[in-house]
């Protein structure tokens, strides 16, 4: 059960959404945007449009998951293809990579909104996201994208409980962001590397690991992160050998295990202090 503070936040979110004439929600298929979209649809009904940006940057299966949920929920949906290869500022993979991607992302959302006569665009950024290294947030704010979850003070730690409370079917779905977040800064982003990462993570998930990251480091090094309670499973010789063999077949030169386990944004730890700009 939600406490009184959480319930007040949801009611405030509903109130703010109710003030909008209509709304476009950027829906990635994740819990944060799924929660926002579900509340928005509850309040505005057919005046809500979900838009999913699709490309090879996103893990396989995410688009089908999003489409399945939206079809079941009866929410109008648009899919827009992102041509990320044309964005050299993104492809070179500097520490502000996400800023350049989000600039394009926001422009695409605005184009859809204009065609549909929608005045407000929203995405599922929380208060917790504002405290992390997230240069893309600055780009979306510059593009006029609304962040209602953050505006009413909703934190990451609250989202899943809130999502379960309102009946979101994938309230406990593990986060699965853009595959480019797995590639070390300075390492050029290519379709081949994205495919290597996606196939490697799917292989590990098929073996039973729930939360997985395969980080791509310079020299073709794969750094595997799994949840701490699952690390012991990787010390089984047969399991370890199978993983190493498979990832090398996919193109990695070296396969390593991160003994600290899975943690959000581990690729950003060394660059979070670079820019004085608060994202």
- Cα angle 39, 45, 46; round to 5: 135
Residue 10, CA atoms < 13 Å, CB-side half-sphere: 21
Distance CA(206)–CA(242), nearest Å, equals: 12
Structure tokens at 193: 């590397």
Structure tokens at 115: 């065609």
First and final C-alpha spacing in the chain = 33
Mean pLDDT of 148-169: 96
Phi, psi of 10 (to 5 degrees): -65, -40
Highest CATH level, class, for 179-263: alpha beta
Residue 240, CA atoms < 13 Å, CB-side half-sphere: 12
**pLDDT score at 264:** 86
**pLDDT score at 234:** 93
Contact between 54 and 62 under an 8 Å Cβ cutoff? The reply is: no
- 262 pLDDT higher than 90: yes
Mean pLDDT of 238-250: 97
**pLDDT score at 267:** 85
How far lies 85's CA from each of 88, 188, 189, in Å?
7, 11, 9
**pLDDT score at 269:** 66
Q: Cα 241 from chain centroid?
A: 30
**pLDDT score at 2:** 86
pLDDT bucket at 270, cuts 50 / 70 / 90: low
Domain ranges in the chain with CATH number 3.30.300: 179-263
pLDDT tens digit sequence for 72-90:
999 999 999 999 999 999 9
H or E element in which residue 222 lies: strand 221-226
- 109 pLDDT higher than 80: yes
CA dihedral of residues 14, 167, 65, 71 (deg, nearest 10) = -70
- 273 pLDDT higher than 60: no
**pLDDT score at 240:** 96
- 256 pLDDT higher than 80: yes
The residue assigned the tokens 């590990």 is 204
pLDDT bucket at 274, cuts 50 / 70 / 90: very low
CATH for the stretch 4-165: 3.40.50.620
Percent of the chain residues topping a pLDDT of 70: 96
Q: What is the DSSP letter of 72?
A: H
**pLDDT score at 183:** 98
Domain ranges in the chain with CATH number 3.40.50.620: 4-165
**pLDDT score at 23:** 98
**How does the average pLDDT of the chain come out, rounded?**
94
**pLDDT score at 271:** 62
Contact between 148 and 36 under an 8 Å Cβ cutoff? The reply is: yes
Mean pLDDT of 121-148: 96
Burial class (CB in 10 A: 0-12, 13-18, 19+), 207: middle
Mean pLDDT of 150-156: 97
- 173 pLDDT higher than 60: yes
pLDDT tens digit sequence for 187-239:
999 999 999 999 999 999 999 999 999 999 999 999 999 999 999 999 999 99
């Amino acid at each position: 059960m939600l406490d009184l503070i959480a319930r007040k936040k949801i009611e405030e979110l509903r109130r703010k959404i109710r003030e909008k004439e209509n709304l476009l929600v950027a829906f990635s298929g994740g819990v944060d945007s799924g929660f926002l979209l579900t509340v928005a649809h509850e309040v505005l009904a057919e005046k809500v449009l979900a838009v999913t940006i699709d490309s090879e940057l996103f893990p396989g299966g995410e688009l089908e998951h999003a489409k399945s949920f939206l079809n079941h929920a009866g929410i109008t949906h648009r899919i827009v293809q992102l041509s990320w290869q044309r964005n050299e500022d993104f492809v070179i993979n500097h520490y502000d990579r996400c800023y350049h991607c989000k600039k394009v992302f926001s422009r695409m959302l605005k184009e859809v909104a204009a065609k549909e006569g929608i005045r407000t665009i929203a995405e599922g950024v929380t208060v917790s996201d504002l405290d992390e290294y997230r240069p893309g947030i600055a780009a979306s704010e510059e593009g006029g994208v609304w962040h209602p979850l953050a505006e009413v003070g909703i934190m990451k730690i609250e989202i899943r409980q809130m999502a379960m409370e309102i009946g979101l079917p994938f309230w406990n779905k593990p986060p699965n962001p853009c595959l480019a977040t797995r590639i070390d800064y300075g390492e050029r982003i290519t379709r081949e590397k994205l495919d290597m990462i996606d196939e490697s993570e799917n292989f590990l998930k098929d073996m039973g690991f729930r939360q997985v990251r395969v980080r791509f480091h310079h020299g073709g090094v794969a750094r595997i992160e799994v949840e701490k309670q699952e690390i012991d499973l990787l010390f089984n010789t047969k399991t370890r050998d199978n993983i190493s063999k498979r990832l090398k077949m996919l193109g990695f030169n070296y396969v390593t295990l991160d003994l600290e386990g899975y943690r959000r944004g581990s690729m950003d730890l060394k660059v979070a202090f670079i820019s004085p700009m608060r994202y």
